[in-house]
Each structure stands twice: as structure tokens, then as C-alpha cells.
Amino acid sequence: MTSAPPASTETAPAPNLGLRGERGPVLIAVMASVALVALDATVIATAVPSVVKDLGGFDQFPWLFSIYLLTQAVSVPIYGKLADQFGRKPMMLFGIGVFLLGSVLCGSAWSLGSLIAFRAVQGLGAGAVQPIAMTIIGDLYSVAERAKITGYVAGVWGASSVIGPSLGGLLTEYTSWRWIFWINIPVAVLAAWLLVKHFAERTEPTPRTVDYLGATLVAGGFGLLILGLLEGGVAWDWSSGASVAVLGAGVLLLVAAGFVERRAAEPVLPGWVFTDRVLIGANLAALTVGALLFAFSSYVPTYVQTVIGTGPLVAGLALAALTVGWPVAATYSGRIYLAIGFRATALIGTAFTLAGTLLAAWLLGPSANVWQVAGAMVVVGFGLGLVNSPLIVALQSAVGWTRRGVATGTNMFARSIGSALGVAVFGAVANTTLAHGTDRAHVATASQHVYTGLIVVAVLMIVAVLLVPRKVPAAE
């Protein structure tokens, strides 16, 4: 038995979507929105010295990154639910509008504190764009078409993430750091205009009861947990009172959210998310994808610069090999999963991912070269593309239109949680070694420990994919 969908779903778009001939402009709008979100996660990296020189507050600058990722992550499942209730179009436009407002405010910031606050606004907008973009693709395109389209989007996301620091440096050097935010304005306006003009969405009547209490508890609980994971061992010791208080409060809020969600008419995180085998396997796999992405993105550039002795540009290009393999695999995964099924395709991806992590642990020692790093990253990226895209298509196929936003949102949220866990676990692994020194030898050893730990994550990914049933029922 395979998980290939029935023939009727392979060519027909979902019935709740607008005009088929309008898909091109809508896809451009989706890709432009995804590019903005991915760019702004990294674009400020090279502008930090200029920002601090202008606004002061050097000790606070890490929050420019973490607050954006934090508000983005905690809002993702909420937007997914609202997209199912009110439609993709209004929520996507709302997200673009909030992101645009945040960008304008960031470019006008008068202190580092205000810039951090406005980055939080940007993150709240990004939290809508990320899941709803993929949900729109799930609505617009058939099962057979989605792999190619998600490959395009993955390519835009990967390229934007890599280009971000270089673009930030270029704009900062030749204009002002403020332009790294103001440049978002024309792109966001174009994306919104294309959606307004070309996205003729027909939504089904659904209850409009908004679960305000559940949304607040879910966002607060997960926000505190992610904050604790991001800042533990950095802003405070893991055993400190601050760490215990933040993580403990997060757990208590989530427990309260569990009781509230069981009674809510339209819960933000409904119970079926935690009982459907397709979603359970896909979301656990997304956790491991997030952890792998974070670890490699964080430690490969440092390893290449410190151990191999290259500059930042070469280090970035070595890591970029990961984002080359991903969209290539995602683009061609459709042909594979239509022939052998979603789970079998994802298992092939896990084999490549495990092989890439083994290569990293084996090859990337004190005497490695840049080409070996790039080779390992291509293999890992190819594997992740064969895991991520089929599983997203599988979970979107397993639910109807009225549940697709929640299903897609929880999957992307799971990946964010995986990234936060990666911060905590692999940060602790590396810091144990780097506490004895940050010279070339210690960085090489710390990197080896991280790469070895990632082998365990790759094995856990295989276990997660095996939880997905061989035959995925098609709900559309």
C-alpha cells in the first residue's frame, strides 16, 4: 500500500478557491511575502554595529533577533485557526499590513528599545504570512502540483535567508541601516495589491466565535517556554530563579490552556491536532527539521570561519549549499510521492539527512576544507527537502478546507519549537566545550560534539516519519 492520493485529487484544485487562472499573480504575492519574512529574520545581522552606534544599547542587541522569532512563532497557530474561520485572504492581508507597519516603525526607531518593540510588531505580521502562504498553496494547487510549488517557495525562503545579511550590509554601507526596513514597503504593497486584485476566495460559512482566552493562554504559555529556551544559559543560568520562573509559568499557562481548549467552541489548538496520526508524525518530524536547521545554520559558519579560517562570505556560501539541496529535492519530490507514497518519500529523505549528519560528524574536523562542508550541507538539504515537502502535502491532503489552516500552522509552529529546543540543547553542548576556550581547537571540538548530537536528531526524524500511516486519506 502507498500513500499516493486518488486520481481525482491529482489534477483538480481545491473546491473552495477562487479563479484557477489567477493563480500566477497570487503565487507571486505569496513568494514575495515569504521573501520579506525570511529576509527580515537575518537582514539586520550585518547592520548591528551601525544600529548600536546610532541608538546605543549594545547589551540589548540580541533581542533584535529573538523578539522577532518569538512573536512570529507564538502567533503562527493562532493565525492558522483564524484563517480557517475568516478565510485566507483577509488574514494574509492583515499579516502583510502588520508586517508593513512594523517595518515603517523600525525604520523610524529612535532608540534600541523602540526598535526591539517594533521588531516584535514585525514578528506578529510574519506569524500570519508564513503559515497562510503555505495554506493558500494547499488550496490553490492539486496534490500533484504542490511539490513543485513548495519547491519554488522553499527556494525563495532559502535564498532570502542567505541573501539577508549581505543585503543588510550593502544597504547599511551605502545608505543607512534604516533602509533595510523601508525597502520592505514597495514589496509588501505589491504583494497586498496582487492579493486584493487576483485572489477571489470563496469561503464556506463557519462559526465566527473567536477563542480569545485560549489564544492568550496558548501564546503566553508557548511564548514563555520559547523565551526560557532561548535565554536559558545566556541571559540567566539554567538553574537560576529566573529560568525556573519563566519555564514554570509557561508550563502552567499551557496546562490552563488545555482545560480551556477542551471547552471552547472554536479552540485555537483543537484536540484532533494531537490525535491524527498524519499530523502527529508530520509535526514531530517538523520538530527535528527545526532543530537540524538551527544547529547547522548557527554552527557551520562559525566552524568555517574559525577552524578552516575563511571570511564571512565564504562561510555563508558553504552554508548556502543546504538551501540549494532543499528546493531541488522539494521540486522533484512530487513525482516520487505520487509513485511510492508520502511516507516512503519522506523516509528516503530521512536517509539522506542521516547520511549528511554522518558526513558532517566524520569529515568536519580540524583538517576539513570548505568543499567538504558544502558537500555535507547539500546532502542534508536534499534530505530535508524530501522530508518536509511531502509531509506538508500529506497533512494538507488529510484535512478539509476548514481545518487546513490549523494543520499547516501547527506544523510550522512545531518547526519553530524544534528550533528553540535546538538553541537550548546544542547551545549547552557547545558551551560545555567552549567554556574552556574559544580558540580554533576548542571550536573544532565543540562543532564535532554538535554534529554528533545531530545524528541522534536524524534518527529521531526517522522514528517520527514512521508514525505517519502508509496510506494517507485524502480529505479534499
Whether 71 is in a domain gets the answer: yes
Domain CATH code at residue 287: 1.20.1250.20
Q: Please report the pLDDT score of residue 18 as a whole number.
A: 43
Whether residues 195 and 330 share a domain: the answer is no
> What band does 297 get if pLDDT is binned at 50, 70 and 90?
confident
Q: Indicate the residue among 265, 280, 309 that finishes a domain.
A: 265
d(CA 150, CA 274): 25
pLDDT of 333-354, one tens digit each? 888 888 898 999 999 999 999 9
CB 95 within 8 A of CB 132: yes
> What band does 205 get if pLDDT is binned at 50, 70 and 90?
low
- DSSP, collapsed to helix, strand or coil, labels residue 39 as helix
Q: DSSP of 302-359, one letter per residue?
A: HHIIIII---HHHHHHHHHHHHHHHHHHHHHHHHHHHHH-HHHHHHHHHHHHHHHHHH
Distant-in-sequence, close-in-space partners of 246: CB < 8 Å, separation ≥ 6: 224, 227, 228, 231
pLDDT of 126-171, one tens digit each? 999 988 988 888 888 888 788 778 778 877 877 776 677 667 777 8
CB 245 within 8 A of CB 225: no
CA distances from 332 to 3, 9, 150, 323 (A): 17, 18, 10, 15
C-alpha cell at 457: 536528531
Whether residues 275 and 127 share a domain: the answer is no
Query: What's the total number of domains in the chain?
Result: 3
Whether residues 178 and 226 share a domain: the answer is no
CB 153 within 8 A of CB 30: yes
CB 132 within 8 A of CB 88: yes
Range of the domain at 407: 270-476
d(CA 303, CA 292): 16
Kindly tell me if the per-residue pLDDT of 118 is higher than 90.
yes
Whether 204 is in a domain gets the answer: no
For residues 16-31, average pLDDT:
71
Whether 183 is in a domain gets the answer: yes
